[in-house]
Amino acid sequence: MIFLSHLINGLSLGSIYAIIALGYTMVYGIAKMLNFAHGDVIMVGGYISYIVAHNLGWGAIGGILMSILVCTVLGVLIEGLAYKPLRGASSLAVLITAIGVSYFLQNAALLIWSPDPIVYPSLVDLPWMSFSIGDLKVSSVTTVTVLCCVLVMALLTLFINKTKMGKAMRAVSEDKGAAQLMGINVNGTISVTFAIGSGLAAIAGVLMCSAYPVLTPTTGSMPGIKAFTAAVFGGIGSIPGAMVGGILVGLLETLAKAYISTELSDAVVFAVLIIILLVKPAGLLGKQVTEKV
């Protein structure tokens, strides 16, 4: 029974990681960069939803929608101001810039919202969504998180495969130059990718803060790095891979916390990341690329 409860917690945490990992994997697949600041967008999403829902009193729906809107705009702004000027630069330069953006968001949040943690009242409080299996109670946040993850995955897969923009994204991820020659607006496509990824980050932020109700300016960074681990796990660039990777990392972390040690759970997750990268650098569902000579 306890094991089952760990499994369910792991599934819920994993679903959050999966939604964050989607943002990493789409951006990595299309812009070929590791958007280090992605985790901090989650934190911004958390704060915005709290302020709008709680301080302005617009309710849960208003808070969620506003945070999605703000994060989407933020994602596009970050891409346009910081990453676009570095198109074609070395990955080292782009990564350092992304770290700069991450630090900027954290420290701006620190100045605006102070380092004191906020106790986040759950925005996902739907009693009819909670149920019990024997002694085991499953809260509505858990149910909603898992359902949300499945829904997002399904919609995104449809979007990528069925829409014109989705087709453009796949083309840009295959070959930027060729896509440009075929009349695809590469910069526009990359912006849309950032917009979608950041919107998803807002959703992940609301779900995460609802499930783990402490919000600080650094709330996003660790989950961000772990979600990147999840994306690598599943194979970077692959959408189903992000889902599989996210859930595996969530389960791994929860079980490590329960059966090994709370302090070492992060170490276990990272150790597995290292092993995966060594044994199967392309991840579970990714493909290998080689340099042309």
Partner 1 sequence: MKKLTMKKATLQNFTNYGIILLFFLICGPLNDVGGFMTRSLEGQLVPICVYIVMAVSLNLVVGISGELSLGHAGFMSIGAFSGAVVAGVMQNAVQSEPLRLLVAVVVGAILAAVFGFLIGIPVLRLRGDYLAIVTLAFGEIIKNIFNCLYVAYDSNGLQVAFLSSSDIHLEDTGRFLINGPQGATGQDKTATFFAGILLVMFTLVVVQNLIRSRTGRAIMAIRDNRIAAEACGLNATRYKMIAFVIAAALAGAAGALYGQNFAAVTPSKFDFNTSILVLVFVVFGGMGNITGSIVAAALLTVLPELLREFQDYRMLIYAIVLILVMIATNNPLIRGWIEQAAAWVKKLFTKKSTEKEAGNDGI
Binding region for partner 1 (CB under 8 A): 33-34, 82, 85-86, 88-97, 99-104, 106-108, 110-111, 221, 225, 228-229, 232, 261, 263-264, 266-267, 270-271, 273-274, 277-278, 281, 291, 293
Question: What is the smallest separation between the CB atom of 9 and partner 1, expressed in angstroms?
Answer: 21
Residue 215 pairs in a beta bridge with: 118
Q: How far apart are CA 15 and CA 244, in angstroms?
A: 9
CA 97 to chain centre: 19
Q: How far is the CB of 238 from partner 1 (least distance, A)?
A: 15
CB of 281 to partner 1, least distance (A): 7
* Distance separating alpha carbons of residues 269 and 162, to the nearest angstrom: 35
- Return the number of the residue (69 or 186) whose C-beta is nearest partner 1: 186
C-beta closer to partner 1: residue 17 or 120? 17
CB atoms within 10 A of CB 84: 14
Which lies closer to partner 1 via its Cβ, residue 63 or residue 286? 286
Residue pointed to by tokens 């943002």:
23
| Complex with partner 1: residue 40 or 171, whichever CB lies closer | 40
Closest contact distance (angstroms) between CB of 131 and partner 1 is: 36
Q: How many CB atoms lie within 10 A of CB 182?
A: 10
For helices 2-31 and 164-174, what crossing angle results, to 10°? 80
Q: Cα–Cα distance between 20 and 268 in angstroms, integer?
A: 20
Residue 138 φ/ψ, nearest 5 degrees: -110, 120
Nearer to partner 1, 15 or 97 (CB): 97
For partner 1, give the closer residue by CB, 2 or 111. Answer: 111
DSSP structure string for 137-153: EE-HHHHHHHHHHHHHH
**Least CB distance from residue 108 to partner 1, whole Å?**
6
C-beta of 106: minimal distance to partner 1 in Å? Answer: 8
Dig out the tokens for 277 from the structure: 């990268």
